[in-house]
């Protein structure tokens, strides 16, 4: 192509007239897919312009650079005293389809995902060559290093179109039989093997030979030596030897260790905004120890983070090393520069959510100094809204040399509203149907509304909830809840329980307590217990009540939430405390004081494991001469409210009590190891312990009912959550035993 282009340009220049002449017309020949108009536009030489050979040659080069043409030629002639340019182009054929043959180990979709060539593209040789390399690389990643690819071009069903077929010969998977290290003395072969991803093939593990993985391993080995002070070390693949007819390979790695260097004097200078006392504990390198590159990089990162936290994001740490035989003196020169201030905060990606909804969660404002901790807190608070897929992406854009930056916040919207309907199953209520509609970001304003109806043989629930997160433009949130609940007689439930009422709750953050908010709520409900089970005694206290009862209560409390995710936390905690007073000055004929406290603590361990600890304590006591009615007392068991897995619903009551009489004090300790199988499927291992007593003075934390087991949680879009726990109750009255706990649907 290049040779043809050069000859055409020489011939064109030779044929071009010596004097000025006007271009009469530009004729295009040979094109099938690219229009004349587009070719002339790219060519850039039009009728009526002065003919210049240099402009024609530039136009030809532009056409070649489109890579749509296998050949471009220009011919010059004169008609009527004007120049006529004839462009003869040869297009690459169009791709009518991409076909794969011979691939049995890797699916078509996986291979095509690596290809650049697609239907409708021009079949350019450069793209096809790149795709061949991509296919080979993909096979090499799977251990098939001897895979080969040839290309077959077959005529298509239409003129100038072809089918491109990649014919793959996969070959055998190559395994690593042995890895031998040559030249290592200071570091054992076992230490080196631990940092490598390439492994020898054994019966208990695979050992595929992947050249790219081996290249990365060579860098890891070099890094290992550098972290031990061997800064001159080098690692290379000296040779490979095939075995087992090419099915296995022996690798020989040559290591040149060099000398080991030690830390000498460590000094730093240039710090004016940060004291020496603040920097000293951040220095990981210590005199007399091996000079570690990892410790040097971590030291630089530690000092930089200290400056970033104070807004000096343009600061940099410049290490200067001075070698004295086998000792290295280190001088850290700190260039602080000016602190950065925020000029603008730009928010992008919010295709639904109003910008004001995001901005009101920010802890930084235009004109503020850029403080890393404040920005990170803003990211966390925006994510906690629950409207976005993952935490916002943060970037900065410098404003020339003014010292100001623009803070760029990019969010990705997630689906927040859904209409759901279907069926659910739980061990408590058996089969139920449900219909619901929910929107947690109504009209992009951050308001929340939900309407749910659950129906079945044992349960009839309707619930409406509306939340205004910024009532009247203030930080006060208001939530209205209206409900009608009917729970029929079920296992361990001795009556039909119907409650109709509403609640109104106001919440507000507390500025002096980080992550903390307070709330105050009023609740009114009419409670009606009917259709008592024959096993419930005629003399039982609940039979003597003149139903229905009116309960009017006020609840106040605090909630502190420092978790890192509203969905699946891995760090932080949720601490809550509340006191509810029913009756007395608030009216109604139910009187009690209920106190509840809860701690949920999350800690990332390793791999993908998260430890979750949940501790509950609650008490309820009558006042004004009134006793607490049995239906308000605590009976533990199951996997809903007052849960204790490994036990049936409402099974755990104080020792000596009838099974329908709960306690006035309870506590629970729940421990879970949670791990994700995917974004929508989570597994867990749990240990629950809890009990309930007739008073707080009777409580004995050495006599808890214990249960352990495993569980799984599955999020099903538009349906809700599927949950299954299989618990082994260690302290069941009839002896230890297993208890399954199901829940499917939106009401957990």
Using alpha carbons, select from 123, 120, 129, 128 the residue that is nearest to residue 96.
120
Whole-number average pLDDT of the chain: 88
* 3 state DSSP class of 136: helix
Can you tell me the distance from the alpha carbon of 414 to that of 264, in angstroms, rounded to the nearest whole number? Answer: 54
The span from the CA of 193 to the CA of 681, in Å, is 34
Contact indicator for 668, 689 with CB cutoff of 8 Å: yes
Question: Nearest-CA neighbor of 447 among 336, 368, 518, 354?
Answer: 354
CB-based contact 293:227 (threshold 8 Å) = yes
DSSP string, 165-226: EEEEE--PPPEEEEEEEES--SS-HHHHHHH-S----BTTB--B--HHHHHHHHHHHHHHHH
Q: Are 257 and 233 in contact (CB under 8 A)?
A: yes
Q: Note the pLDDT tens digit of each residue in 62-109.
A: 988 888 888 888 888 888 888 888 889 888 899 999 999 999 999 999
Peptide bond into 477 cis (omega under 30): no
Q: Per CATH, the architecture of 341-410 is what? A: Roll (3.10)
Number of H helices, E strands in the chain: 11, 31
C-alpha span between 94 and 99 (Å, rounded) = 14
Q: Where are the alpha helices (DSSP H) in 50-143?
A: 53-65, 108-112, 125-141
Averaged over 134-147, what is the pLDDT? 90
Q: Which residues pair with 557 in a beta bridge?
A: 519, 578
Cα–Cα distance, 365 to 370 (Å, whole number): 9
Q: pLDDT (tens digit, 9 = 90+) per residue, 419-438?
A: 665 554 544 555 556 677 88
- DSSP states along 249-313: EEEEEEEE-----EEEEEEEE--SSS-HHHHGGG----TTSB--HHHHHHHHHHHHHHHHTTT-T
Give mean pLDDT, residues 328-338: 93
pLDDT of residue 490: 63
Res 453 pLDDT > 90: no
pLDDT of residue 719: 57
Window from 2-6, 430-434, 548-552, 598-602 with minimum mean pLDDT: 2-6
The angle at the Cα of 297, spanning 294 to 300, to the nearest 5 degrees, equals 150
Class level of CATH domain 2-91: alpha beta
Q: In what order do the strands lie in the sheet with 82-91?
A: 23-29, 82-91, 69-79
- pLDDT of 489 > 70? The answer is no
> Which 3 state secondary structure label does DSSP give 521?
strand
Q: How many CB atoms lie within 10 A of CB 726?
A: 16
* CA-wise closest residue to 296 among 268, 325, 272: 268
User: C-alpha 391: how far from its chain's center?
Assistant: 8
pLDDT computed for residue 455 by the predictor: 76
* The predicted structure's pLDDT at residue 313: 86
Task: Name which of 98, 171, 177 is nearest 136 in CA terms.
Answer: 171
CATH class of segment(s) 175-256: alpha beta
Whether residue 516 is predicted with pLDDT greater than 80 in this model: the reply is yes
Q: What is the pLDDT of residue 17?
A: 55
Beta-carbon count within 10 A of 430 CB: 15
Q: Report residue 297's pLDDT band, with 50, 70 and 90 as the boundaries.
A: very high
Nearest to 687 by CA among 660, 668, 702: 668
Contact in structure between 586 and 554 (CB atoms under 8 Å): yes
**Is residue 6 within a helix (H) or strand (E), and if so which, with residue range?**
helix 2-15
Domains 175-256 and 262-335 share a fold: yes
Q: What letter would DSSP give residue 392?
A: P
pLDDT for the residue numbered 41: 87
Residues ≥6 apart with Cβ < 8 Å to 149: 132, 135, 136, 166, 167, 168, 169
Predicted TM-score of the model (pTM): 0.68
Per-residue pLDDT at 402: 65
Average pLDDT over residues 375-401: 87
SS (H, E, C) 333-380: EEECCCCCEEEEEEEECCCCCCHHHHHCCCCCCCCCECCHHHHHHHHH
Q: How far are the Cα atoms of 379, 434, 458, 630 from residue 451, in angstroms, in the given order?
A: 30, 11, 20, 30
For residues 393 and 692, the answer to whether their CB atoms sit within 8 Å is no
Q: Flag whether pLDDT at 13 surpasses 80.
A: no
Report how far apart the first and last C-alpha atoms of the chain are (Å, whole number): 69
In angstroms, the CA 323 to CA 332 distance is 15
Kindly report the backbone phi and psi dihedral angles of residue 58, in degrees, each rounded to the nearest multiple of 5, phi listed first: -65, -40
Up-side HSE of residue 268: CA atoms within 13 Å toward CB? 24
Q: pLDDT band at residue 397, thresholds of 50, 70 and 90?
A: confident
To 5 degrees, how large is the angle CA 33–CA 39–CA 41?
140
pLDDT of residue 431: 58
Looking at residue 7, what is its pLDDT?
A: 41
How high is the pLDDT of residue 723? 81
Q: What is the pLDDT of residue 720?
A: 59
In this predicted structure, what is the pLDDT of residue 417?
Answer: 79
Q: Give the pLDDT confidence score for residue 49 in this predicted structure.
A: 86
Give the CATH architecture of domain 94-169: Roll (3.10)
Helix (H) or strand (E) holding 59: helix 53-65
Distance CA 192, CA 198 (A): 11
Is-contact 271 336, C-beta < 8 A?
yes
Distance (Å, rounded) from C-alpha 249 to C-alpha 207?
10
Residue holding tokens 């069926």? 423
Residues in CB range of 7: below 8 A, 6 or more apart: none
- pLDDT tens, 708-727? 999 998 877 655 567 889 99
Measure the CA–CA gap between 98 and 634, rounded to whole angstroms. 67
DSSP 8-state class, residue 130? H
User: Which fold would CATH assign to domain 262-335?
Assistant: Ubiquitin-like (UB roll) (3.10.20)
More confident residue, 535 or 379: 379
Separation CA 143–CA 545 (nearest Å): 76
Asked whether residue 227 carries a pLDDT value surpassing 90, the answer given is yes
With beta carbons less than 8 A apart as the criterion, state whether 675 and 681 touch: no
Least confident of 28-32, 213-217, 505-509, 644-648: 28-32
DSSP 376: H
Rg (CA), the chain: 37
* Neighbour-count burial of 448, counting CB atoms closer than 10 A to its CB (0-12 exposed, 13-18 middle, 19+ buried): buried
Higher per-residue pLDDT: 51 or 8: 51
Of 541, 507, 506, 521, whose CA–CA distance to 622 is shortest? Answer: 541
Q: CA-CA distance, 250 to 178, in Å (whole number)?
A: 5
Residue 176 has a pLDDT of 93
Q: What is the Cα–Cα distance from 625 to 247, expressed in whole angstroms?
A: 87
Contacts of 297 (CB under 8 A, 6+ apart): none
What are the domain boundaries of the chain? 2-91, 94-169, 175-256, 262-335, 341-410
Residue 682 has pLDDT above 60, yes or no: yes
Mean pLDDT, range 584-613, rounded to an integer: 94
CA neighbor of 210 nearest in space, from 136, 148, 149, 144: 144
DSSP classification of residue 388: B
Res 434: pLDDT: 65
CB atoms within 10 A of CB 14: 9
Exposed / middle / buried, residue 491 (Cβ in 10 Å: 0-12, 13-18, 19+): middle
Q: Kindly give the pairing relationship between strand 94-101 and strand 161-169.
A: parallel
Structure tokens belonging to residue 346: 């730009």
């Amino acid at each position: 192509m290049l040779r043809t282009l050069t000859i055409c340009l020489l011939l064109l220049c030779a044929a071009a007239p010596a004097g000025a002449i006007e271009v009469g017309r530009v004729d295009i020949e040979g094109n099938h897919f690219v229009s004349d108009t587009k070719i002339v536009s790219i060519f850039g030489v039009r009728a009526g312009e002065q003919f210049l050979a240099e402009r024609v040659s530039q136009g030809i080069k532009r056409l070649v650079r489109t890579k749509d043409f296998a050949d471009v030629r220009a011919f010059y002639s004169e008609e009527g005293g004007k120049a006529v340019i004839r462009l003869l182009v040869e297009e690459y054929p169009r791709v009518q389809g991409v076909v794969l043959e011979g691939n049995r180990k890797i699916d078509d979709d996986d291979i095509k995902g690596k290809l650049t060539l697609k239907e409708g593209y021009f079949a350019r040789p450069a793209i096809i060559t790149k795709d061949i390399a991509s296919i080979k690389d993909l096979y090499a990643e799977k251990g098939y290093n001897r895979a080969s690819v040839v290309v077959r071009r077959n005529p298509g069903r239409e003129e100038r179109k072809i089918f491109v077929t990649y014919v793959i010969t996969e070959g055998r998977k190559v395994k690593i039989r042995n890895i031998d290290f040559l030249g290592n003395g200071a570091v054992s072969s076992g230490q080196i093997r631990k940092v490598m991803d390439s492994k020898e093939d054994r019966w208990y593990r695979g050992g595929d030979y992947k050249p790219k993985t081996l290249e990365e391993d060579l860098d890891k080995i070099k890094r290992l030596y550098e972290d031990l002070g061997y800064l001159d070390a080098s690692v290379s693949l000296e040779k490979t030897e095939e075995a087992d007819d090419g099915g296995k390979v022996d690798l020989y790695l040559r290591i040149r260790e060099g000398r080991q260097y030690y830390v000498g004097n460590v000094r730093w200078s240039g710090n004016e905004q940060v004291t020496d006392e603040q920097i000293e504990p951040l220095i990981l390198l210590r005199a007399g120890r091996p000079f570690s590159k990892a410790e040097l990089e971590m030291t630089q990162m530690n000092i930089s983070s200290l400056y970033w936290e104070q807004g000096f994001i343009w600061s940099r740490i410049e290490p200067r090393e001075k070698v004295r035989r086998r000792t290295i003196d280190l001088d850290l020169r700190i260039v602080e520069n000016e602190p950065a201030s925020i000029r603008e905060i730009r928010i992008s990606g919010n295709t639904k959510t109003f910008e004001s909804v995001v901005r009101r969660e920010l802890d930084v404002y235009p004109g503020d100094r850029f403080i890393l901790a404040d920005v990170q807190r803003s990211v966390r608070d925006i994510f906690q809204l629950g409207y976005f897929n993952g935490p916002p992406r943060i970037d900065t854009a410098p404003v020339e040399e003014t010292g100001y930056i623009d803070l760029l916040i990019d969010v990705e919207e997630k689906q927040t509203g859904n209409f759901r309907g279907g069926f659910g199953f739980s061990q408590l209520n058996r089969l139920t149907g449900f219909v619901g509609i929910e929107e947690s970001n109504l009209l992009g304003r951050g308001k929340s509304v939900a309407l749910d109806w659950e129906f079945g043989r044992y349960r009839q629930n309707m619930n409406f909830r509306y939340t205004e997160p910024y009532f009247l433009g203030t930080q006060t949130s208001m939530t209205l809840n209206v409900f009608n609940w009917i729970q029929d007689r079920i296992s361990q439930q001795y009556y039909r329980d119907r409650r109709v009422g509403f609640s109104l709750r106001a919440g507000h953050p507390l500025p002096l307590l980080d992550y903390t908010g307070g709330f105050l709520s009023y609740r009114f409900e009419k409670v009606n217990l009917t259709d008592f089970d024959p096993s419930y005694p005629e003399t039982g206290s609940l039979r003597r009540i003149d139903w229905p009862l009116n309960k009017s209560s006020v609840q106040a409390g605090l909630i502190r939430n420092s978790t890192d995710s509203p969905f699946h936390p891995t760090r932080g905690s949720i601490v809550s405390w509340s006191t509810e007073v029913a009756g007395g000055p608030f009216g109604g004929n139910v009187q009690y004081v209920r106190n509840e406290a809860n701690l949920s603590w999350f800690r990332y361990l390793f791999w993908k494991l998260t430890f979750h600890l949940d501790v509950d304590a609650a008490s309820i006591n009558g006042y004004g001469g009134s006793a607490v009615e049995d239906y308000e007392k605590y009976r533990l068991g199951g996997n809903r409210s007052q849960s204790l897995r490994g036990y049936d619903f409402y099974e755990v009551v104080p020792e000596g009590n009838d099974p329908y009489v709960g306690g006035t004090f309870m506590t629970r300790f729940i421990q879970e190891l949670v791990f994700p199988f995917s974004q929508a499927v989570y597994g867990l291992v749990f240990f629950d312990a809890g009990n309930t007593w007739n008073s707080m003075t009777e409580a004995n934390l050495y006599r808890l009912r214990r249960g352990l087991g495993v569980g799984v949680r599955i999020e099903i879009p538009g349906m809700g959550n599927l949950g299954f726990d299989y618990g082994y109750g260690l302290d069941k009255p009839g002896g230890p035993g297993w208890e399954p706990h199901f829940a499917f649907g939106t009401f957990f």
